[in-house]
Amino acid sequence: MPTRTYRPIHVATLASGMEVTLPLHEIVGDRDGPTLGISAGIHGEEAVGVEIVYRFLTTFDLNGLGGRLLVLPVANPLSYATISRVTPIDGGNLNRVFPGNPDGLLTEQLAHKMTEGFLRKIDYYVDMHAGGAYPTVDYVYILNAEDLSRAFGSRLLYRAKETLAGTSVSVTRELNIPSVVVELGGGDVDQSAYVRRGIPGLANVLRTLKMLPGDPLPPPPQIVLREIATLRPHHGGLLLPEVTEMGGEVRGGQVLGRIVSPYSFEELEVVRCPFDRGIVVLTQLTPNVVEPGIFGFMIGNLATAES
């Protein structure tokens, strides 16, 4: 039977007296193997990743585990508590400041503690993300571990030309740690379908690494995107989506959504598909209040995709 230990990492103490910790779980198998790190909640509004990790560790049978799991279910407890993308103390985006600074802003201190106490101690890495409180997303990055990215089982993958600096995977890639970033779920809708996909997705990564017994399940037919356009509105107001099928194909110029004023009822902006043949990677499944510059839609270019 695997042994489980809870090893919270102290980060700081707030003026209220509250201790800020990183909730690290260690699960050690009964045979040799690598260390897989799994994190979620780097952005606190991406709550479904936290649930996937929770249900995976509390419901999935890990008997026969080889090696070790290091699991950080809530990487930014303060942003998770406030359902926010950023740390409320200083407004920092945790996934833009890695490897952090032990003497910097609180967000930088969080990144430093996560780097030293978690990222530097693993052999493989899976980082769970989601669309957020309102948008819903569904794809997996191909970074430096294509077999693991494919093993998670998502239909859409993204082979990005470059990744943003300051992310947790910028640290692991520099350390030559095979890494996977999963973007799954989110939005003001029932998340149970995404949870049901996330649990076997993580299990299949472990099987691919031979950390769990049994052969990994083959992935479904997959499309690898090389180009994704992120469409951010220039006007705030009420966003009325017209395309809500995740993974659905859209054509050039097709209306994805409209932003209207909830006050004057004036149509302020029309968001359209930028590619002749596109596929929906992120969308709004419900009418939402939006501000300029938020994630409105993400559309992949099928003309340049790998089938």
| pLDDT tens readout for residues 25-61 | 999 999 999 999 999 999 999 999 999 999 999 999 9
Give the per-residue pLDDT at 70. Answer: 98
Give the per-residue pLDDT at 148. Answer: 98
Q: Which pTM does this prediction carry? A: 0.97
pLDDT band at 1 (very low <50, low <70, confident <90, very high): confident
- The fraction of the chain above a pLDDT of 90, given in percent, is 98
Mean pLDDT within 241-253:
97
**Quick check: 118 pLDDT over 90?**
yes
pLDDT band at 130 (very low <50, low <70, confident <90, very high): very high
Give all domains of the chain, ordered by start, each with its CATH number.
Answer: 3-223 (3.40.630.10), 229-302 (2.40.50.100)
Distance between CA atoms of 138 and 155, rounded to whole angstroms?
8
**Quick check: 162 pLDDT over 90?**
no
**Quick check: 307 pLDDT over 80?**
no
Secondary structure element (H or E) that encloses residue 224, with its range: strand 223-225
Which token pair is 143? 């970074």
Give the per-residue pLDDT at 231. Answer: 98
Neighbours of 212 (CB within 10 A): 23
**Quick check: 164 pLDDT over 90?**
no
Rounded to 5 degrees, φ, ψ at 95 are: -85, 25
